[in-house]
Amino acid sequence: MRILVKADMAYRFDVPSEVLLQIEAARTPIQTVMREALTISPGLALHRKDDLYTGERRVMFAAQGLVEIAYEAEVARSDTVAPLAGLTQMAVHVLPAEVLPYLNASYYCPSIRFQSFVLREFGNLRGGDAAAAILSWIAQNIDYRACVSDSQTTALDTFVDRAGVCRDFAHLAISLCRAVGIPARAVSAFACELDPPDMHAVAELYLDGSWRLIDPTGKAPLAGLVRVATGRDAADIAFMSIYGQGELVRQSFAAEPLEARAAA
């Protein structure tokens, strides 16, 4: 599947600030970037912080005044999405070393606070069955609603408030999965059919020997996701981290399947 993704952003920096930008499509075995263009105006010295191991792309720059950012890419994805149910939960001692940290609590995903809950609610399930039950519990118990959460909201808050946006859903799903012993991490992605269009926050679970993409909100088809960044929680995958002060001027993200457009 070929997907066209676009980002258009403008921020004003009244004091000298530094910016970490994570909006470029990752280059992975199942995601090929056919062409892309990143334009930052005015021209600034760009410092690449790409992760060669994961293929994730990051760029930093020092900013002052108005900065406009445009990104466009055509991405080919060959992912096949398997149902979670039935997938094996691997014994911890056979997990790859780099997967182990994703079992630990992180700031937004305080999984150790949910161990009693998951034992009670999902204690008889393992692996993909437990993950599917967790996603079903979230779908039944958490409402998608803006303005109930902010940048400090953790999965514990969302568990109590029973509402949030995509990053809150991702944090709660990650927390509950880690609590049952399934490695889980946060993923940012362009998303086809997301309404309203935005950068999406989803998650990945390590089951049966590989990372499996899930969308705890159920708002976007998995096959239409273009992966950008991966991390322990929202802090690691923010599309823009500002060290200093920045003010949003405008911002939009879009993704659409190219075949569909070609066929039209």
Interaction between residue 129 and a second copy (CB under 8 A): no
Q: How far is residue 255's CA from residue 225's CA, in Å, rounded to a whole number?
A: 8
Interaction between residue 42 and a second copy (CB under 8 A): no
Q: Which is nearer to a second copy, 101 or 259 (CB)?
A: 101
The nearest distance, CB 50 to a second copy, in angstroms, is 7
Interaction between residue 110 and a second copy (CB under 8 A): yes
The nearest distance, CB 204 to a second copy, in angstroms, is 17
Q: Which of 224, 222, 230 is nearest to 83 (CA)?
A: 222
State how far Cα 243 lies from the chain centre.
Answer: 21
Cβ burial 85-115 (10 Å sphere, 16+ → b, else e): eebebbeeeeeeeeeeebbebbebbbbeebe
Stretch that binds a second copy, among 54-62, 166-174, 204-212, 219-227 (CB under 8 A): 54-62
Interface pick for a second copy out of 88, 243, 252, 261 (rule CB under 8 A):
243
Site for a second copy in 165-204 (CB under 8 A): 181
The nearest distance, CB 155 to a second copy, in angstroms, is 10
Provide the β-strand partners of residue 253: 7
Show the binding pattern over residues 58-97: x = contacts a second copy (CB under 8 A), - = does not. x-xxx----------------------------xxxx-xx
Cβ burial 6-34 (10 Å sphere, 16+ → b, else e): ebebebebeeebebbbbbbbbbeeebebe
Interaction between residue 102 and a second copy (CB under 8 A): no
Contact 247, 17 (CB under 8 A): no
